[in-house]
Amino acid sequence: MSLFGGWSGSRGSFFGGIHPPEHKQRTAEEPIEVVPTPAEVRISLLQHLGAVCDPLIKPREEVHLGAEIGRSEKFISAPVHASISGTAMRATVATLPNGRHVPVIPIRAYETQPLADRALYDAMLGGSWPLGEAEQFEPGEIVESAREAGLVGMGGAAFPTFVKLMRQADQPVDTVLVNGCECEPFLTADYRMMVEAPQAIVAGGLLVRRALGAQRVLLCIEDNKPLAVRALREQQGPGIEVVVLQTKYPQGGERQLVQAATGRVMPGGGLPMRVGVAVLNISTVAALAAAVYRGRPLTHRVVTVSGGGIRQAKNLLAPVGTSYRELIRLCGGLTPDAARVIAGGPMMGFSFAADDEVADKIPIPITKGTSGLTVLTRREIQQAEQTACLRCGRCVDVCPMRLVPTRLALATRANRVSLLQRYHIGSCVECGCCAYACPASIPLVQLIRVGKIQFQNP
Ligand code: SF4
Ligand code: SF4
């Protein structure tokens, strides 16, 4: 029975996976709220997979919303833009939740902003979007718009989008999958985008189709989101249709989605293009529509702030570079028993102690890939004591990559790099299914992450 109401009609699934509690009901019906302009944002010069940007502005320089402030000439990179109007400060360093130290440019806000509140929402997401004009653009124009707007995968991977939109003569794409599964517990940012801005998503999906010369676009949604299905079905047309998939974690994983939606199996280590498919997140395609039709670079994104440790859970449209602390403040602050802040959802996110966030340390800024912020209480993170492996095989049954997690954990503990290779540690997508299913509470994902480091530095 779905938390959203028991609607069904799904098709398509994949091997393994789990059904963790969804915990989405607290924010699912919370409309997207525009964040008041923060006093300061900190724009990371590395918000994507690829090369770090060089700063294009000097301290004390005036910048306006949307101005390019960082860029790299390396191919795999994405420029960054000012998400508010204000005065640039001296570049500094921030530590992101994944532990990476990155250069950031602080911008102090002007008192008056060119866009705020409803006007900002309308400029980014609202109004009507052209659904029949994608064919008027040359594919290269769409790729260029994506590059100049600094688009990256907003589902978390943050891979520069323009690269995915480039046609490869030897690997033609016939099917575009727009990923609206959002299978991580607690997160509802994509869900609200689908409910509130379905036209922008469809407009963006058609642009992707045009860029890649694909035949069809499938808008992929899990069967626990009937309102999103309805909203997108009202906008679908020739070449673009809604596909409803079973609710199962990690349905939104690239490999799992390709298999469930098309029946095609990606070869080990290969990209979706190898089987004629491109996969983009729904927020990313909406941002593409904003870039192409409205000339808007990627400066804001929707972030879900939820979990038992937050007083008032919300979906917020926030400037990139807003601090986690500010978002928590806008949600009424932490509850007394808040213990852990997670960037993203609890399955794949990176966590840190709640004390660190509220303490007066350098604020952690959100980036283009930050889809949520989950604050868990002591009770929510309490785990049974770890015991020895019971050899029950549950971790194997649920692994969507058909790995043997218990062997990977043992090989890591023994620092046996040759075994890590034999057991295909590189194929682990760190989805967390194995650890979730393990009755012995063995921290399998943490061990596998350590194993990956051992493998890379033998
Ligand atoms: S081994 Fe990796 S891919 Fe398999 S369930 Fe565990 S975390 Fe997921
Ligand atoms: S699920 Fe846990 S206890 Fe069972 S085999 Fe895997 S590691 Fe061992």
Q: What atom in ligand 2 is closest to the CA of residue 388?
A: 3
Enclosing domain of residue 43: 38-112
Is 8 within the bounds of a domain? no
Is 249 within the bounds of a domain? yes
Check whether residue 161 and residue 290 sit in a common domain.
yes
* Rg of the chain in Å (alpha carbons): 21
Check whether residue 158 and residue 267 sit in a common domain.
yes
Is 29 within the bounds of a domain? no
Is 1 within the bounds of a domain? no
- Identify the CA nearest to 282 among candidates 238, 365, 218: 218
User: Does the pLDDT at position 47 exceed 50?
Assistant: yes
Check whether residue 265 and residue 156 sit in a common domain.
yes
Hey, whose CA ends up nearest to atom 8 of ligand 2? Answer: 389
Instruction: Show which of 112, 129, 155 is a domain's final residue.
Output: 112
DSSP state of 307: S
Instruction: Show which of 294, 316, 340 is a domain's final residue.
Output: 294
Which protein residues touch ligand 2 with a CB less than 6 Å away?
389-395, 406, 437-440, 442
Mean pLDDT (whole number) for 265-275: 86
Check whether residue 181 and residue 246 sit in a common domain.
yes
pLDDT at 363: 78
Q: How far apart are CA 104 and CA 86, in angstroms?
A: 15
User: Does the pLDDT at position 360 exceed 90?
Assistant: no
Q: pLDDT of 310-358, one tens digit each? A: 999 999 999 999 999 999 999 999 999 998 899 999 999 888 766 655 5
Hey, whose CA ends up nearest to atom 5 of ligand 1? Answer: 399
Check whether residue 337 and residue 418 sit in a common domain.
no
Hey, whose CA ends up nearest to atom 7 of ligand 1? Answer: 430
**Could you tell me the distance, in angstroms and rounded to a whole number, from the CA of residue 82 to the centre of ligand 1?**
37
Check whether residue 312 and residue 245 sit in a common domain.
no
Entry pTM: 0.92
User: Does the pLDDT at position 359 exceed 50?
Assistant: no
**Could you tell me the distance, in angstroms and rounded to a whole number, from the CA of residue 273 to the centre of ligand 1?**
23
**Could you tell me the distance, in angstroms and rounded to a whole number, from the CA of residue 92 to the centre of ligand 1?**
36
Which of 434, 436, 438, 455 gets mutated to test ligand 1 (max ligand atoms within 8 A of its CB)? Answer: 434
Check whether residue 324 and residue 290 sit in a common domain.
no
User: Does the pLDDT at position 197 exceed 60?
Assistant: yes
Hey, whose CA ends up nearest to atom 2 of ligand 1? Answer: 428
Check whether residue 255 and residue 160 sit in a common domain.
yes
Check whether residue 124 and residue 100 sit in a common domain.
no
Q: Which CATH number does the domain housing residue 182 bear?
A: 3.40.50.11540
How many folded domains does the chain comprise?
Answer: 4
Written as six digits, the tokens of 343 are: 């960037």
Q: How far apart are CA 179 and CA 159, in angstroms?
A: 15
State the virtual CA torsion across 359, 361, 366, 370 in degrees, nearest 10: -60
Which protein residues touch ligand 1 with a CB less than 6 Å away?
398-399, 401, 403, 405, 428-434, 444-445, 448
Check whether residue 219 and residue 275 sit in a common domain.
yes
Is 15 within the bounds of a domain? no
Of the candidate ranges 246-250, 255-259, 423-427, 453-457, the one whose mean pLDDT is the lowest = 453-457
Residue ranges of alpha helices (H) inside 38-149 are: 117-124, 139-148
Average pLDDT of the residues of the chain: 91
Dihedrals phi, psi of 346, to nearest 5 degrees: -70, -15
User: Does the pLDDT at position 296 exceed 50?
Assistant: yes
Hey, whose CA ends up nearest to atom 3 of ligand 1? Answer: 428
Which of 383, 385, 387, 392 gets mutated to test ligand 2 (max ligand atoms within 8 A of its CB)? Answer: 392
Q: What atom in ligand 2 is closest to the CA of residue 437?
A: 1
Burial of residue 257 (number of CB atoms within 10 Å: 0-12, 13-18, 19+): buried
Q: pLDDT of 125-177, one tens digit each? A: 999 999 989 999 999 999 999 999 999 999 877 899 999 999 999 999 999 99
Is 222 within the bounds of a domain? yes
Q: pLDDT of 17-43, one tens digit each? A: 999 999 999 999 999 999 999 999 999
Check whether residue 198 and residue 330 sit in a common domain.
no
Is 6 within the bounds of a domain? no
Written as six digits, the tokens of 308 are: 């038992």
pLDDT at 361: 58
Which of 266, 429, 444, 452 gets mutated to test ligand 1 (max ligand atoms within 8 A of its CB)? Answer: 429
Q: pLDDT of 398-437, one tens digit each? A: 999 999 999 999 999 999 999 999 999 999 999 999 999 9
Residue type, 216: R
Check whether residue 428 and residue 407 sit in a common domain.
yes
Q: Where are the strands (E) in 79-202, listed by range?
A: 80-81, 86-88, 92-95, 101-109, 175-179
Q: Which CATH number does the domain housing residue 362 bear?
A: 3.10.20.600
Among the bound ligands, the one closest to the CA of 395: 2
Instruction: Show which of 320, 349, 381 is a domain's final residue.
Output: 381
**Could you tell me the distance, in angstroms and rounded to a whole number, from the CA of residue 160 to the centre of ligand 1?**
25
At residue 5 the predicted structure's pLDDT band, cuts being 50, 70 and 90, is very low
Q: How far apart are CA 308 and CA 335, in angstroms?
A: 8
Among the bound ligands, the one closest to the CA of 410: 2
More confident: 7 or 249: 249
Hey, whose CA ends up nearest to atom 7 of ligand 2? Answer: 406
User: Does the pLDDT at position 120 exceed 50?
Assistant: yes
Is 63 within the bounds of a domain? yes
pLDDT at 354: 63
